[in-house]
Structures are given as structure tokens and as C-alpha cells.
Amino acid sequence: MFLVRRASQDLPKKLTGIANRSFKSLKIQGDSVDSSIPSSLTHGIHVFHCPDAVGIVAKLSECIASRGGNILGADVFVPEKKHVFYSRSEFIFDPAKWSRSQMEEDFLKLSTTFNAMKSVVRVPDQDPKYKIAILVSKQEHCLVDLLHQWQDGRLPVEITSVISNHDRAPNTHVFRFLQRHGIPYHYVHAGIIW
């Protein structure tokens, strides 16, 4: 599967699709991507930001394909009147054929070629997970959604705590979930103190 979208500023500000989904949530013909890909392959994400020029997508594709990688999806965006190229590519690769150090070197060459302002590659299975605290109010639906994504492996982070301005009772399903997973819950009074 190879999907490239070049968006213009006329489109809604919220672009949906591959850019907002993790590797494990992608679908190919009804099957999840991770069930149809050999276990020896690893998922990578590359974010790129440079002055707009002809051939950027071709060079990004060539960089990944030349090392045996395969692009699962790519989102590109060039704002009108700015002439700045933004992209986010998700790809799979074999770490035995494309080492992390070689990958960094290859994307650095690409960055130099296009005078990139930003070129970041992440390999969720190899990189340390981001440590996050979740800030939440009284409504639980957003917190529950994040916790389910985390539990399913679709949110590759380490949740260090949940902080709220609403004191939850210890017998709620959310509180019990947090306790089961060793995630501390902190109540912070948000009232005005005179």
C-alpha cells in the first residue's frame, strides 16, 4: 500500500488518515498491517520540513526503497504563498538490512540535499518511549480513549501519571484501571484560594 496526498490550504485544517494513526491501527484490505507483515520488519516514521522543490517525494521514496524499505503512507503539505514542504512518512524496513545509524546518515544526506529545517526519524520499537502525564478534567471519555489506545499499543508512550482537577472515587473503573497498571492518579484542587 502506498498513499501520498499533497494537500493544499483549501482543505480543512484537520487532515485525517495515516498521519494521525499509529502503525498497529493501519488497515490493508481489511487486515491490520502488523498481521500481514513479516515479524522481521520494523515500523519507522520520518518527519521532514524543507523549502519546496521539485522531486522531494521522489527522493524520500528512493531513500527508503534503496535500503529495502516500503512506504506504508505519506502525507505532504505545501501551504500556499509559503513554499515550504512538510511531510510525514510511515514505512517498514528490515533492521538487519538498514541499521539505525545508516538510516540517520541517509536521512541526513537527504536533509542536506534539500536544505531541510527539520528531519526527524523515529523507530518506535527501538527508540525510548516518550514519558507523558495526562491532564484530565471531570469528563472521562477522552481519558478512557487514551488509556485504551495505550493498552492496545496504539499509543507508544510511557504514562507516568494522570493529573486531574476532579477527585475521582477509588471504586470507579478508571481509577481501578490506573491502579492495575501502576499509573498514579493525582488530584489538584483548582479552586480559588483567598
The pLDDT score that the predictor gives to residue 111 is 96
The grid coordinates listed for 69 are 524499505
Residue 154 placed within a domain:
yes
Mean pLDDT of 10-29: 40
Please check whether residue 180 lies inside any domain of the structure.
yes
Q: Which among 71, 97, 122 is the end of a domain?
A: 122
Strand partners, 70: 92
Q: What is the mean pLDDT of residues 70-76?
A: 94
CA dihedral 45, 51, 55, 59 (to 10 degrees): -30
Identify the weakest region by mean pLDDT among 4-8, 23-27, 94-98: 23-27
pLDDT at 171 over 80: yes
> What is the pTM assigned to this prediction?
0.63
State the pLDDT confidence band at 2, using cuts at 50, 70 and 90.
Answer: very low
| Domain encompassing residue 56 | 42-122
Per-residue b or e along 43-56, where b marks 16 or more CB atoms closer than 10 Å to that residue's CB: bbbbebbbeeeeeb
Task: State yes or no: pLDDT of 24 exceeds 80.
Answer: no
Q: How far apart are CA 181 and CA 184, in angstroms?
A: 9
Mean pLDDT of the chain: 82
Mark whether 106 and 144 lie in a shared domain. Answer: no
pLDDT classification of 7: cutoffs 50, 70, 90: very low
Has residue 34 got a pLDDT over 80?
no
Mean pLDDT (whole number) for 146-161: 89
Kindly give, in sequence order, each residue whose CB lies less than 8 Å from that of residue 135, ignoring residues fewer than 6 positions away: 163, 164
Evaluated on CA atoms 1, 59, 42, 40, the torsion sign reads positive
Read off the C-alpha cell for 77.
Answer: 503539505
Residue 102 belongs to a domain: yes
Residue 69: how many other CB atoms lie within 10 Å? 23
Copy the grid coordinates of residue 24: 498497529
Residue 27 belongs to a domain: no
- 20 part of a folded domain: no
